Amino acid sequence: MRNLTKWLGGVLGGLLVLGLFLLPYLEQTYAPDAANIEDVGDAVWYAIVTLTTVGYGDYYPVSVPGQVVGVLFVLSSLGVLGLLIGKIADLFTSYREHRRLGHHGTDATGHIVIFGWNASTERIIEQIRILDRRIVVVTPNRDAVNTIHERFSDAVFPLYADFDDADLLSRINLRKADRTLLNIESDTDSLIYLLNLRKDFSDVEFVVAAQNEELRETIENAGLTKAVSARTNAAHLIASVIFEPDVAIFAQDLITTAQDDTDHDLQQYEIQPGSPAAEHSYGELFRALYDTLDVVPIGVSKSGPDDAALHKLPPDDLSLEVGDVLIVIATGADVTPLEEDWTLRFGATAA
C-alpha cells in the first residue's frame, strides 16, 4: 500500500511538472491574443490556486488544449490533496502510537525502572506506587503496554522495547534512575540481558529478581549490586529490595528455611512452667536474651479464652506468662540454650 501511494504521488507530481511547462506553450500557441497565462510563473500561480481549490480566476486557460491541461490540474488537485491529507493523518497516528509506546521517552529522574511485565511486576508496582515515585516498565510485549495504560493510567510509564535496545533505554533516563529491577521470568534471559545492559550502562546498579534461589550468587557474580529470589519472596519484599536491598534480603533469609546452625531464622518458643521468662516483662526478657545469646524477640502470642492474640513488637511492660509463645530471631545454635537455660519449648504454637 505504501509503495502504491508513492507511485501515485510520483505520477501526479510528474504530470503537474509537465503541465507547468506545457500550459503556457499551448496557450501562447493556440490563443496568443487572448491568453493570460504567458509564462511558467503564471502557470505555477494557476496550479497553486487550483490545487488548493482557492480559484481566484485571475489566471485560467482559454485555448482548448490549455483547458484540457487545466482539467488535468483540477483532477490532480483532488489526488494531491488526498495524498497530503492522508500523509498528515499518518504522521499524527504515528506520533500518537510512538508516544503511547513510550518511544518519545521521559525526562524523569530519580525514578524506578522495572524490566519485564508479569503478575509479579504488577504486585510490585502496587507496593511502590503509594510512594509517589515515577515508575517506568520496559517490556517487549506490545499487549502489555495496553494493559499498563488501562491498569495504571499515567502512574506508570510503559516503554515498548527490547531489553538490550540502548537507544530507547537512553530515552527513559536509565542512568538517572534511582533503582533498576530486572523482573524477567527466565533467569537465563536475565543473565544474558544483564551482561548486555552492563556494556552500555556500566554505571547503573541493577537488581535482579531471580526465579531460582540457587542462582542468586551466580547472578550477583555477574556484576549485580543485589539479587533477590522472586519465588521465596512476597511482592512487598521484592519492592523493598528496590529501596533497601540489604534489609529486604535479610528479611528474605529470615522467611527461608535455615541451611545450618549459623543461619538466622524466625523461631517460636512456648514458655514452660518454671521458666525464668515468666518472671520478666517483655522489655526485660528482650535485653536478657539479646545480651546473653544475641537472640532478638520480636513478638508474643498470648493465648486467650477464644483465640490467641499476637503482639508484634510489644511494649516493654507487657507481662509474660506460662503458655505464651515467644517469636524470636535466632540461629539453630540457640535452640539448646533457650530450651535448657530458659525452659522454653521450641516450635510450639499458642493454644
State which of 70-79, 164-173, 183-192, 254-263 shows the largest mean pLDDT.
Answer: 164-173
Q: What is the pLDDT of residue 213?
A: 66
Say yes or no to pLDDT of 142 above 80: yes
Domain with CATH 1.10.287.70 in the chain: 2-100
Using the predicted structure, report yes or no on whether residue 234 has a pLDDT greater than 50.
no
Q: What is residue 2's predicted lDDT score, i.e. its pLDDT?
A: 60
**Average pLDDT for residues 53-74, to the nearest whole number?**
81
Render pLDDT for 157-171 as a digit per residue (tens, 0 to 9).
Answer: 999 999 989 999 999
Q: What pLDDT, on a 0 to 100 scale, did the predictor assign at position 312? A: 85
Name the band, by pLDDT with cuts 50, 70 and 90, for residue 233. very low
pLDDT at 112 over 50: yes
In this structure, of 2-6, 104-108, 147-151, 287-291, the range with the lowest mean pLDDT score is: 2-6
- pLDDT for position 253: 58
For 9-36, how does the pLDDT look when each residue is reduced to its tens digit (9 = 90+)?
Answer: 677 677 777 778 888 888 888 888 888 8
- 219 pLDDT exceeds 90? no
- Pairs from 260-265 (Cβ < 8 Å, separation ≥ 24): 260/332, 261/331, 261/332, 261/333, 262/331, 262/332, 262/333, 263/331, 263/332, 264/329, 264/330, 264/331, 265/329, 265/330, 265/331, 265/332
Residue 248 in this model has a pLDDT that exceeds 90? no
pLDDT digits (tens, 9 = 90+) for 302-314: 876 655 688 888 9
Identify which has the larger pLDDT, 206 or 259: 206
Most confident of 38-47, 68-77, 119-128, 163-172: 163-172
What residue ranges of the chain are covered by domains with CATH 3.30.70.1450?
264-346
Band of the pLDDT at 246, cuts 50, 70, 90? low
Lowest mean pLDDT among 82-86, 165-169, 283-287, 311-315: 82-86
Is the CATH number 3.30.1780.10 carried by domain 112-255? no
Range in 5-14, 77-86, 199-208 the model is least confident about: 5-14
pLDDT for 236: 46
Provide the CATH number for the domain formed by 2-100 in this structure: 1.10.287.70
pLDDT band, very low/low/confident/very high, at 259 (cuts 50, 70, 90): low
| pLDDT at position 92 | 92
Q: What is the CATH number of domain 264-346?
A: 3.30.70.1450
Q: Which of 79-83, 197-201, 270-274, 340-344 has the lowest mean pLDDT?
A: 79-83
The pTM of this model reads 0.56
pLDDT tens for residues 318-344? 999 999 999 998 888 999 999 999 999
